[in-house]
Amino acid sequence: GNSVTQMEGPVTLSEEAFLTINCTYTATGYPSLFWYVQYPGEGLQLLLKATKADDKGSNKGFEATYRKETTSFHLEKGSVQVSDSAVYFCALSDLKSGGSNYKLTFGKGTLLTVNP
């Protein structure tokens, strides 16, 4: 079945450092890929998405490119802020033919802590 593997955390960075969180996936067909973010005490929010190969999703300074050849969707940000401290989840869609069984398959999450 489909699966998502993302780098183990926690990740601790200083403010203005460069961030990469690796995400690779296994899927049949052509899934859409997502990054969700969970701030402390809150539900998950969509951060960015890409629906086909070579698409780049971007939002709030974060970027991720859908790489079919390497089955990857790594999250990057050039300069993190303290407010970026959160848990980040990589996910893929699983929409079977006819739309009868849809779900998101999530990675285990990566805790990011940014220190001033």
Partner 1 sequence: EAQVTQNPRYLITVTGKKLTVTCSQNMNHEYMSWYRQDPGLGLRQIYYSMNVEVTDKGDVPEGYKVSRKEKRNFPLILESPSPNQTSLYFCASSFNLAGGPPGELFFGEGSRLTVL
| Residues contributing to the site for partner 1 (CB under 8 A) | 32, 36, 41-46, 49, 51, 89, 93, 95, 98-104, 106-109
In the complex, what is the shortest distance from the CB of residue 16 to partner 1, in angstroms, rounded to a whole number? 29
Judged by beta carbon, residue 40 or residue 116, the one nearer partner 1 is 40
In the complex, what is the shortest distance from the CB of residue 29 to partner 1, in angstroms, rounded to a whole number? 13
In the complex, what is the shortest distance from the CB of residue 7 to partner 1, in angstroms, rounded to a whole number? 13
SS3 per residue for the chain: CCEEEECCCCEEEECCCCEEECEEEECCCCCCEEEEEECCCCCEEEEEEECCCCCEEEECCEEEECECCCCECCEEECCCCHHHCEEEEEEEEEECHHHCCEEEEECCCEEEEEEC
